[in-house]
Structure 1
């Protein structure tokens, strides 16, 4: 194919999630004229992914989750949107992106390809019927699978699993959750707070299966028979896997970019190739490293900070992203929670400070993180001032 180079050298953005659209929006605040092309495998509509795990209780349909259609985004931000377009290859030497519709060259390339749900290796004749939700399309399929009185098993008691369990139980679905840990959100919360969340969701009707995992899923006349590693079984109508995400690095790897847990970027969000940047769930931020170990940050606030810094760089002012303390609100109305995790690798322990307040304290007695629960969640700004960077 012949490359279609824009005479002014476009900025190409691959991905139309929050990261891709944030990069475009922030760049347009600084540069109204440089052509921008956004390439996406889906519709390009803008919606907030965190809303997927709370829409049921709020009575919002999948269509109502779209806050701005792609056409409106295109007109508002003066951007070319290539919807339903799959990128097949990146050529970072030629500064070209190969798609099923042709080849485009770029001045700068932004990779915002996000992350894919981790797929468990399960046995049984209905293993392929296990669902994952990570975008509006998959959420729509999940919603269509729910009938009145559906029995739902959620695999994983992490952040997303607990949010979905709360949302489903609030609409009176029969919800079960299975997780190998002893309490929900074991990686984020003090065990005592996890136990409080367990009790709060149990009061809504959620049934827990801790200390085990799913081995097989089989379709029978009664529904889906799920067999756990401990030998127990349960029968449900829908199985939703929420065991985490894995950064989408396939295109970057094939192009020879440096990847580890994500696409490795420096403080200016540049990858190992010139004029190629990454942000969002697919990026591994060196600027957030602890002890030299970079990490991915699959939350909203890191994307907002990264998008603003990247826009400055794309507009001609190289800018390092700086991540402040970024508390995460966990959307479990049964027990509202705010978590400010200590930096990766920080050695310390949780200490209860007061009603609904825990501090993560290091060996020197410095507060490195906190958890707020219930009515105490409105104290996040006050507590953030106490955390030592």
Structure 2
């Protein structure tokens, strides 16, 4: 580990050594900051990307080292001091923070990139060792050991993580059941036609999917565990995965006096309510570039893009021109040989139109505002067949292209042509 710099002189300090924090630390150095950079996080691993946790890491197609964003050599070269510790308090007036190992760090600017903590099953038996969550590299390694051929996996939660793990477990030869309390998969994150296609795909690949029923409790049996469901039925399994999302841990920013809502509230420059403190990534609640409403996003894209803006603004200071965060939302989910993408903010649409991409269920649903400008899109299909069209759809949304519903729905209309016309 890199030898710590002096902890007494003001520095750039980043709390949260995940994807967003790691990227921000590198961006600070690349942008010309010459003094100390401190990266604080309680995970023993260097910053890494999380999307492979539910996919390639479980199946063995990728190693933990391949997910890393920074190595020891990278930290040394960039002169980034890594602290494996928790922050116990922030003194916003003195511009300093205290670590669990007793150190005090003075900061010129502070970035909170603390992500979120995984939600657990709050039911009887929810704390049994057979009940697991998936948030970090350690979780992925522990779960992977249990996903051997013939093992029975019960996934609670039909969202992205739950479905990606279900797909990975089927690839590994496990028996898989998914239990979702809502009447359909992936909640409000995707439109119903896409949810129906995902449901059909999982069932076709051998996953038992139960909708509209929730868990009541879990007990041990001679051969594993048994989960009692609200409809009176029960399911036996060897392993239970709680894939029910994350929530930001707001205790530290609240204690420091920061304004919080569903996350740390920031402006378009990712500045918090207190001078010198910024927030980015999963923990930040920021104004949407389309609606101005405060939103919070738990995506790779959000962590990646906000890290750069936060670093730039940490350097500029309050009296200089600041960069605004203007990237549109985008996320994807890989399930088997299919991919789902959501771009923009479909909730802001006045109308929608479906475009068929192929004869295998591939589709894009475009979302238009009252002026026929694209505000979002959601695509689904076999990755190899729809990847190019989904990339074009994303570009159309990012450029806020205007087009009629009829034109977008017509397969004879080339999406690339719409893009060229807009130029």
- The two structures have a TM-score, normalised by structure 2, of 0.84
How far, CA to CA, are the matches of 1:135 and 1:153 in structure 2? 20
**Deviation for aligned residue 1:234:** 0.3
Question: 1:162 maps to which residue?
Answer: 163
Which of residues 345, 348, 355 in structure 2 aligns to 1:346? 348
The 8 Å contact of residues 89 and 97 in structure 2, kept in 1 or not, is answered as yes
- Greater displacement, 90-99 / 145-154: 145-154
Tell whether 2:205 aligns with 1:180: no
Residue 376 of structure 1 is matched in structure 2 by 386
Distance in 2 between the 1:342 and 1:146 partners? 36
| 8 Å CA contact retained: 2:58, 2:143 | no
Contact 2:333 2:340 in 1 (8 A): yes
Task: List per-residue Cα deviations over 1:247-302 (Å, max 9, x = no partner).
Answer: 12111011111110000111121111111111111111125473x53011111222
SS at match of 1:80: strand
Runs of 5+ unmatched residues, structure 1: none
Deviates more, 1:212-221 or 1:377-386: 377-386
The residue that corresponds to 2:364 in the other structure is 357
Stretch moving more, 270-279 or 320-329: 320-329
Q: 1:173 to 1:76 in 2, by over 3 A?
A: farther
Counterpart secondary structure, 1:271:
coil
Q: Name the structure 2 match of 1:100.
A: 100
User: Is 2:211 aligned against 1:210?
Assistant: yes
Q: Distance in 1 between matches of 2:279 and 2:97?
A: 15
Distance 1:75 1:235 in 2: 50
Partner of 2:417: none
The answer to whether structure 1 residue 75 and structure 2 residue 82 are counterparts is no
May I ask how many residue pairs the two structures share in their alignment? Answer: 383
Q: 1:220-239 residue pairs with structure 2 within 5 A?
A: 220-239=221-240
Instruction: Give the TM-score taking structure 1 as reference length.
Output: 0.90
Displacement of 1:309 in angstroms is 1.4
CA contact (8 A) 1:170 1:204 kept: no
Whether the aligned pair in 2 keeps the contact of 1:285 and 1:294 (CA below 8 Å) is: yes
Going from structure 1 to structure 2, the CA distance change for 1:115 and 1:167 (only over 3 Å counts) comes to same
Residue segments in structure 2 that go unaligned for 5+ positions in a row: 358-362, 402-423
What secondary structure is seen at the aligned counterpart in 1 of 2:17? coil
* Post-superposition offset of 1:204: 1.6
Query: Displacement, 1:100?
Result: 2.1
Distance in 2, matches of 1:340 and 1:87, equals 35
C-alpha contact (below 8 Å) 1:341/1:369 kept by paired residues = yes
Supply the distance in 2 between the matched residues of 1:341 and 1:314 (Cα, whole angstroms). Answer: 27
| Separation in structure 2 between the aligned mates of residue 385 and residue 66 of structure 1, nearest angstrom | 27
1:256-335 maps to which residues of 2 (within 5 A)? 256-288=257-289, 290=291, 292-316=292-316, 318-335=321-338
Shift of 1:350: 4.2
Q: Is the Cα–Cα contact under 8 Å of residues 62 and 140 in structure 1 kept in the other structure?
A: no
